[in-house]
């Protein structure tokens, strides 16, 4: 699997990341470069940003290609690992881009798998906890098949990822492609967009302005937040493991949205109040990963506490605001 570098006899590992300029893709890029990989990042910049990878300009081990991965991917030269992360991932994005979301989950995954097959590379597909839908089982183990509304507003994302998992397994069984599937639970950290629409930047953005923090429903619905460095470590371990079945990666610490909003307000020292608005259609009431498999197969579990992770994330957003970034109105 290792490729010989042209400049010396040291083996060089070539990794391709789709969605490489996104929140997770850019952090994965940094992690792999630190591990000695050469990284090729592909992104059409619909939701990704060159700001996330601007610090890599001039790095001889990094190459960026602006391309939509639903189109044919041509690369001259070997590839050892394909990390398929391309996809809108927040409700504000995939509700605005439902067809593109479905296309990247289907056509994009097909192109990524075809490349992996051609290059004889191992491929990891970034799936999501959203494949469980509004779960009737809690916490959610990988054996749970989910409770998804296929024709609801969130169906474009949920079904894109469910189809992608099915396609990955078909390539594994039919073509013996060496595949991995990670089911990612809520993740946060630096490089999230202020207008991301997800709960972490929304709550922090409002609290930094002393504006009301909007909580859906009565705030009793729960989420489990994993800091980005913990997630990337778990994903790397999964890629290097021997399992081809889906594995949950996330932090099992569960918190209500009301409790989380109050924690953000307190951490920032904000004067924000909390306002309530109706729960969006099909919004999951519960979300908590069962990470038994990750512990057993990968010897992995998260290390960064929510308090420490939020301190780092708040500092990142404060810095953005100080540099003149505009905080979206809620």
Do 224 and 289 contact (CB within 8 A), yes or no?
yes
Query: How far is Cα 25 from Cα 23, in angstroms, rounded to an integer?
Result: 6
| pLDDT at residue 64, rounded to an integer | 98
Answer whether residue 214 is part of any domain: no
In a domain, 270, yes or no: no
Number of domains composing the chain: 1
| Residue 1 scores a pLDDT above 50 | no
CATH value at residue 101 = 3.40.50.720
**Residue 277 maps to a domain:** no
pLDDT digit string, tens, across residues 99-136: 999 999 999 999 999 999 999 999 999 999 999 999 99
Instruction: Supply the pLDDT for residue 320.
Output: 85
* pLDDT band with cut points at 50, 70 and 90 for residue 10: low
* Model pTM above 0.75: yes
Q: Is the pLDDT of residue 323 over 60?
A: yes
Q: Strand 11-18 and strand 3-4: pairing?
A: antiparallel
94 found inside a domain:
yes
Examine the pLDDT at 322 and tell me if it is beyond 50.
yes
Tokens of 2: 């290792």
Residue ranges with strand state E in the chain:
3-4, 11-18, 37-43, 62-66, 81-84, 122-128, 179-184, 187-188, 213-216, 222-224, 226-227, 247-249, 254-256, 274-277
Is position 144 within any domain? yes
Does the annotation mark 157 as catalytic?
Answer: yes
- Asked whether residue 98 is assigned to any structural domain, the reply reads yes
pLDDT in tens, 232-265: 999 999 999 999 999 999 999 999 999 999 999 9
What distance in Å separates the CA atoms of residue 13 and residue 1, rounded to the nearest whole number? 8
CB 64 within 8 A of CB 26: no
The fraction of the chain above a pLDDT of 70, given in percent, is 95
Classify residue 43: in a domain, yes or no: yes
Cα–Cα–Cα angle for 4, 109, 42, rounded to 5 degrees: 55
Helix, strand, coil percent values for the chain (each to nearest 5): 40, 20, 40
Per the prediction, the chain carries an average pLDDT of 93
Please indicate, yes or no, if residue 107 is contained in any of the structural domains: yes
From the candidates 31, 94, 157, 227, give the one annotated as an active-site residue: 157
Interval 177-212: pLDDT, tens: 999 999 999 999 999 988 888 899 999 999 998 999
Query: Kind and range of the H or E element at 326?
Result: none
According to DSSP, the β-strands at 81-84 and 122-128 are: parallel
Residue with tokens 């490349």: 115
- The range of the structural domain enclosing residue 164 comes to 3-188+227-249
| Closest C-alpha among 22, 23, 153, 43 to residue 91 | 153
């Amino acid at each position: 699997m290792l490729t010989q570098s042209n400049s010396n006899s040291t083996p060089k590992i070539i990794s391709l990341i789709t969605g490489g300029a996104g929140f997770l893709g850019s952090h994965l890029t940094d992690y792999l470069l630190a591990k000695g990989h050469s990284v090729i990042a592909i992104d059409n910049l619909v939701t990704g940003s060159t700001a996330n990878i601007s610090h890599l300009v001039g790095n001889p081990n990094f190459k960026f290609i602006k391309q939509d991965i639903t189109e044919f991917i041509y690369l001259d030269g070997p590839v050892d690992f394909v990390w398929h992360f391309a996809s809108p991932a927040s409700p504000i994005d995939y509700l605005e881009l439902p067809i593109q979301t479905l296309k990247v989950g289907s056509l994009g995954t097909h192109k990524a798998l075809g490349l992996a097959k051609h290059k004889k590379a191992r491929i990891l597909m970034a799936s999501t906890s959203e494949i469980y839908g509004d779960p009737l089982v809690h916490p959610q183990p990988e054996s749970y098949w989910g409770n998804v509304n296929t024709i609801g507003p969130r169906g474009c994302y949920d079904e894109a990822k469910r189809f992608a998992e099915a396609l990955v397994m078909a390539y594994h069984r039919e073509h013996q492609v060496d595949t991995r599937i990670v089911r990612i639970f809520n993740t946060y950290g630096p490089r999230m967009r202020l207008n991301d629409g997800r709960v972490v930047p929304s709550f922090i953005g409002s609290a930094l302005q002393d504006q009301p923090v909007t909580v859906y429903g009565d705030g009793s619905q729960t989420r489990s937040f994993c800091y980005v460095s913990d997630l990337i470590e778990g994903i790397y371990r999964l890629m290097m493991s021997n399992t081809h079945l889906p594995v949950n990666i996330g932090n099992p610490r569960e918190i209500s949205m009301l409790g989380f909003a109050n924690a953000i307000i307190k951490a920032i020292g904000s004067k924000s109040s909390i306002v309530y608005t109706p729960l969006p259609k099909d919004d999951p009431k519960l979300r908590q990963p069962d990470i038994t498999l990750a512990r057993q197969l990968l010897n992995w579990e998260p290390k960064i506490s929510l308090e420490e992770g939020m301190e780092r994330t708040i500092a990142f957003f404060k810095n953005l605001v100080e540099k003149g970034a505009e905080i979206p109105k809620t």
